Amino acid sequence: MVIKIHDYEKNGKFSIRKCYQALREPIVQVSWKRLICNNKASPKSLFITWLAVLNRLATKTRLAQWNLVNDTSCVLCNDAEEDTQHLFFSCPYSAAVWVQCLKIIGITRRPVSFLDEISIAASKCRRKSKVSQLYGIMFAEAVYNIWIQRNHQVFQGTHKLPQHTVDLILLNVACRVPDTMKNHLYR
C-alpha cells in the first residue's frame, strides 16, 4: 500500500485528523450505547448492565464452559439453564420483578427476551421524555438488583422476594433522579 501525503490534505494543508482516521481501525457503533452512556443509574448498575449486554456475567452456563461448575440450572427458579438470556426476564423471578418495575412507570406488558428488552431500553434512552429516561434507569437498576439477588442465592442460600427487590430498585431510582421526575414513580 502506497501512502500519498496528498491523500491527507484538506484545502491544500495536511490534516492530522484525516491521517489519524486512516490509521486507526473503524469504529463499530453499538445500538445500546445510549443505554449505558446517557443513563443516570448508579455506576455499579451501569457496569453490571454493560457486562450483561455483552454477555460477560459469570452465569452458571459460562462457568460450566470453564469447567468450574457442573449444575447449570438457574438458582432463582431451578427451571432452566442459567444464562444471561434466561436470568434477565425469562426467569419467573426476574420476570415478576420487571413486570412490577414496568407498572411503576405506567407500562403494562409482559417481558420479552433480554435482547429485545435491551433494544427497547436503548431506544427509550435516546428520547428526552421523563418516562423514557426513567425506563433506562429502571432497566439498569433492575438488571443490577436481579444479579445481586442471584448472587445472594448462590453465596448465602437466600434471596429477597420479588416485591422487596422492586422496592430496592425503586429506592435506587428515586435517589438518582431529580424531584421533577419522582412524581412518575408513584402512580
List the pLDDT tens digit at each of the 187 positions of the chain.
566 777 777 788 888 888 888 888 888 888 899 999 989 999 999 999 999 999 999 999 999 999 999 999 999 999 999 999 999 999 999 999 999 999 999 999 999 999 999 999 999 999 989 889 999 999 999 999 999 999 999 999 999 999 999 999 999 999 999 988 888 886 5
CA distance 79 to 59: 15
Between CA 23 and CA 30, with CA 29 as vertex, the angle to 5 degrees is 145
Question: In angstroms, rounded to a whole number, what is the distance separating the alpha carbons of residues 60 and 68?
Answer: 9
Q: Is residue 38 part of a domain?
A: yes
Question: Is 5 a member of any domain?
Answer: no
- Count structural domains, the chain: 1
> In degrees, to the nearest 5, what angle opens at C-alpha 113 toward C-alphas 173 and 76?
70
Residue ranges making up the domain that contains 163: 32-182
Residue-level pLDDT at 182: 86
Could you tell me if residue 3 is inside a domain?
A: no
pLDDT computed for residue 1 by the predictor: 56
Is position 27 within any domain?
Answer: no
**Could you give the C-alpha distances from 53 to 46, 68, 111, 184, in angstroms and in order?**
10, 22, 16, 26
CA dihedral 68, 50, 41, 110 (to 10 degrees): -80
Closest by CA position to 144, among listed 87, 81, 76, 61? 87
Query: What pLDDT is stored for residue 24 in this prediction?
Result: 84
Write down the pLDDT at residue 151.
Answer: 98
CA-based nearest residue to 170, from 181, 159, 156: 181
Cα 106–chain centre separation = 20
Q: What is the pTM of this model?
A: 0.86
Confidence (pLDDT) at 3: 64
Kindly state whether residue 16 falls inside one of the protein's structural domains.
no
